[in-house]
Structure 1
Amino acid sequence: MKPVEWLDNRIRIIDQTLLPSELRYLDLTDYKDMVEAIKTLRVRGAPAIGIAAAYGIALGAQRIDADTPDEFFRSLQQVFDDFARSRPTAVNLFYAIGRMQHAVSALNDLEKIRQALVEEAKRIHIEEEDATRRLSEYGAELIRDGFTILTHCNAGPLATAGYGTALGVIIEAKRKGKKLHVYVDETRPLLQGARLTTWELMQEGIPATLITDSMAGHFMHRGTIDCVITGADRIAANGDTANKIGTYSLAVLAHENQVPFYIAAPMSTVDISIKSGNDIPIEERKVDEVTAIAGVRVAPDGVAVANPAFDVTPHRYITAIITERGIIRQPYDFD
């Protein structure tokens, strides 16, 4: 199963909005379709968004009709800009765009530019796969045999186009022979935990219990949960971490109940240009994600709605950050 794949001038993705009911692959031949796939969460998860954008940029370059390098780069800049506007919080997107820009900044031959973009996108994908595998190996050492783990949203292979971050740690611990049980927050409003995380855990044969988001504190207070592991969409230089809305609440609950709270993310998710979480941009999504579930309206017409897609967990609530470079503990200073 490959959530994102380059197939000679087209990109194949899994439409994650249809899971778990249907596993459908989409073949994209226009970069604008990839931009839309990112916006509509057909592709989601910070590392996967970065990989998908890199392939999308390479795809866009294949379709540019230009006679001179200057003309080509003007059109290519529009491709970069379209992806940069797709989702503001996940820094892997901007990391990938920067890598793709740098890969061709000194080139003038149009065919070499196109080829260099494809090669750089593939390199980004390979590097992210390797990073998630290595961080999973480090993180698995934190998991003891018999642990019950709570996770939020979805941070497995679907979200990374690799091994997974939070789920990668869990999967690797299971493959090392540890007996585990995972409690999965449903993750409102779009239910990535219920739809995607439970599905991935079942594919791996890992026992899982689905709970509503508001049940997490109950199970921590009862002593059911041994640790919490989530992914991340952007980590500031001081360790403050943006992740799916509801993560901050989990971190506070974990702190109150003396439950270790871990973030698992590759270094490409760290943004050293942002000193603290106060400066991380938070995406606000459409109101109908909150007022309806699976197309069925659950709130009265005209009600005011707020729908931030992410929140920021202050670094003081994070026990450790699991990266491909190892386990990083407080004080966090990624500068």
Structure 2
Amino acid sequence: MAALRWDGKLFVLDQRLLPWEERWVEVSSAEQAVELIRGLAVRGAPVIGLVAAYALALEAHKNPDLSYLEAQGQALAQARPTAVNLPHAVSLLLQVARETPEPERAKALAAAAEALHRADAEACLRMAQLGAAFLSGPSLSVLTHCNAGALATGGVGTALGVVRALHASGRLHRLYACEARPVLQGARLTAWEAVQDGLPVTLLADGAAGSLLASGAVHAVVVGADRIAADGSVANKVGTYPLAVLAQRHRVPFLVVAPTTTFDLACPSGAAIPIESRPAAEVRECAGRAVTAEGVGVFNPAFDVTPPELVTAIVCERGVIAPVTGENLQRVLA
């Protein structure tokens, strides 16, 4: 299972069509990559960084001029404002471009993008091991939100990587997946991944999470992240923050799983994380049909911010940050 393919050409799995249809789309330019990222054909903080990196490598084959590549990179980096993996990947490739003679740039950028892809896949496996080891118990039921699996990364996933590791070791009793309104990444994507891998999965409406946690059926909440600030504040799909509040209320561990590329040490706190606003039609409509009266206003942030005091631990490929403080974060990332 993968969100993208690269063999000198770049293809992405159009996630807008899942679970009804599996369609691969060839990406031939940075402009097209921006459109696909903004339109959620490809989504998930790690993988949109990889798509941007490969798209920039493709552009270098067309025109290796540095000023041209910088302009294309700027457009890619701004495709979505919250996930820091995107500008991180673009910045890395542009640095390679600056350090490489023009005749060799296309090859060097392709190699750099491939290296990023391998590193993300390796990070996913390491985080899966660390996260599964952090959670104690012989038979665990885990609640997750949105999609933080293979469709969102270059490997087995972040949060779902941990779930896959629990399943492989015989310790997963059940995966509970919130639907993740309004775009339904949990219902459409996480549940689809779980079925593909034979994971025992139960889908629930976002508003049912409180009742589920109160019932005692959940042993841990495990989510991904789009940006983690220097103080340990976590930006993730909207709906994550109330899950963290509920988890604390019911004394359930709340685990965030994200690679080091998701950390933004230049961002001092959650208040400084830019939160993307999505189109009102995502809330006003379902399957292209209006579900509310005409003229109703809409509040549709793509993400929310969970403060560090609500996070039991953050797992990255370098280790486990617990308790979540700026000092501990700096220590693990050093």
Q: Tell me which interval the TM-score lies in, with the shorter structure as reference length.
A: over 0.9
Give the whole-Å Cα distance in 2 for the aligned partners of 1:112 and 1:179: 48
Within the alignment, does 1:29 sit opposite 2:28 as a pair? Answer: yes
Tell me, what secondary structure is at the counterpart of 2:209? helix
Give TM-score, length-normalised by structure 2: 0.95
Equivalent residue in structure 1 for 2:212, among 208, 219, 228 = 219
Deviation at 1:179, TM superposition (A): 3.5
> What is the Cα deviation at residue 315 of structure 1?
0.3
Mark the runs of 5 or more structure 2 residues left unpaired by the alignment: none
Partner of 1:332: 325
- From 131, 139, 142, the counterpart of 2:131: 139
Equivalent-residue separation in structure 1 for 2:103 and 2:44 (angstroms): 31
- Separation in 1 of the partners of 2:109 and 2:118? 14
Give the counterpart of 2:74 among 67, 76, 81: 81
1:107 to partner: Cα distance: 2.5
- Percent of aligned positions that are identical: 43
My pick for the range that moved more, 312-321 or 322-331, is: 322-331
Following superposition, the deviation at residue 222 of structure 1 comes to 1.3
Alignment pair present for 1:124 and 2:113: no
Instruction: List per-residue Cα deviations over 1:234-275 (Å, max 9, x = no partner).
Output: 001111000000000000011111111000111110110011
Give yes or no for contact 1:244–1:310 (8 Å, CA) kept in 2: yes
Determine helix, strand or coil for the equivalent of 1:189.
coil
- 1:97 aligns to 2:96 (yes or no): no
Kept in 1, the 8 Å contact 2:45–2:226? The answer is: yes
The answer (yes or no) to whether the contact 2:314–2:322 under 8 Å persists in 1 is yes
2:238 matches 1:239? no
Secondary structure at 1:193 match in 2:
helix
Question: Which digits, 9 at most, give the CA deviation of each residue in 1:2-46, with x for residues without a partner?
Answer: 3112222x2111000100001111112222111111111111000
Deviation at 1:308, TM superposition (A): 0.5
Alpha-carbon RMSD:
1.1
Q: Secondary structure at the match of 1:228?
A: strand
Q: 1:177-216, aligned counterparts within 5 Å?
A: 177-216=170-209
Kept in 2, the 8 Å contact 1:35–1:56? The answer is no
Matched, 1:40 2:39: yes
SS in 2 for 1:141: helix
Matched, 1:283 2:276: yes
Q: Residue 53 of structure 1 contacts residue 83 of structure 1 at CA under 8 Å; is this kept in 2?
A: yes
- Write the deviation string for residues 129-177 of structure 1: whole angstroms up to 9, x where unpaired: 1001100011111343221111000000000121100000000111112
Residue pair 1:231, 1:243 contacting (<8 A) in 2 also: yes
Using the TM superposition, name which of 238-247 and 298-307 deviates more.
298-307
Q: How does 1:225-304 map to 2 (within 5 A)?
A: 225-304=218-297
Per-residue deviation, residues 82-118 of structure 1 (Å, max 9, x unmatched): 102200000100110111111122233x221111111
Q: How much has 1:74 moved relative to structure 2?
A: 1.7
- The amino acid of 1:133's aligned partner reads L
Deviations 1:259-307, CA, capped at 9 Å, x for gaps: 1100011111011001111100000111101101121211111111111
CA contact (8 A) 1:180 1:206 kept: no
Asked whether the 8 Å contact 1:233–1:243 carries over to 2, the reply is: yes
Instruction: Output the CA distance in 1 between the equivalents of 2:210 and 2:196.
Output: 27
Shift of 1:63: 1.7
CA distance, structure 2, for counterparts of residue 157 and residue 106 of structure 1: 32
**Count of residues paired in the alignment:** 327
Aligned equivalents of 1:120 and 1:210: distance in 2?
A: 38
Within the candidate set 166, 191, 209, 1:173 is matched to: 166
Provide the rounded CA distance (Å) in 1 between the counterparts of 2:325 and 2:90.
26
In 2: Cα distance, 1:145 partner to 1:196 partner: 27
Q: Which amino acid aligns with 1:130?
A: E
